[in-house]
């Protein structure tokens, strides 16, 4: 039988070491350390969700906000239209009776 090539054995050894390193980096294998890290991160995410979820808006909150916004925009629009109409009336009065009036 032929003697194994030392170069191939060395490459195989490097590949096995790299494979083991990747396996540990991905949390698959390395004992309980990888599992504990995943559990710690999962617990942190669950804690964040428990804090954030109660503060999120519901559909009802959004509908109420939409109605309030619509009402406020409608009121503001009518105030602007009224102000413009008043301004036109004032300018008309000034042009008609103040500027055009004969001075004695």
Radius of gyration of the chain measured on its C-alpha atoms:
39
HEC states along the chain? Answer: CCCCCHHHHHHHHHHHHHHHHHHHHCCCCCCHHHHHHHHHHHHHHHHHHHHHHHHCCCHHHHHHHHHHHHHHHHHHHHHHHHHHHHHHHHHHHHHHHHHCCCCC
pLDDT tens string 33-52:
778 888 888 888 888 888 88
pTM of the model: 0.48
Structure confidence at residue 8 (pLDDT) = 75
How far is residue 72's CA from residue 17's CA, in Å, rounded to a whole number?
A: 68
Q: What percent of the chain shows pLDDT beyond 70? A: 81
Helical (H) or strand (E) element with 8: helix 6-25
Look at residue 28 and tell me whether its pLDDT is greater than 60: no
Structure confidence at residue 1 (pLDDT) = 45
User: Cβ distance 41 to 35 under 8 Å?
Assistant: no
pLDDT tens string 58-89:
999 999 999 999 999 999 999 999 999 999 99
Domain extent listing, the chain: 1-56, 58-104
């Amino acid at each position: 039988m032929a003697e194994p090539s030392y170069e191939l054995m060395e490459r195989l050894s490097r590949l096995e070491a790299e494979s083991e390193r990747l396996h540990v980096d991905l949390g698959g294998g390395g004992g309980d350390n990888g599992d504990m890290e995943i559990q710690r991160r999962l617990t942190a995410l669950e804690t964040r969700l428990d804090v954030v979820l109660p503060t999120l808006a519901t559909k009802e909150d959004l509908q109420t906000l939409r109605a309030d916004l619509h009402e406020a925009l409608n009121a503001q629009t009518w105030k602007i239209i009224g102000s413009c109409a008043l301004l036109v009336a004032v300018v008309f009065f000034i042009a008609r009776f103040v500027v055009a009036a004969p001075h004695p």
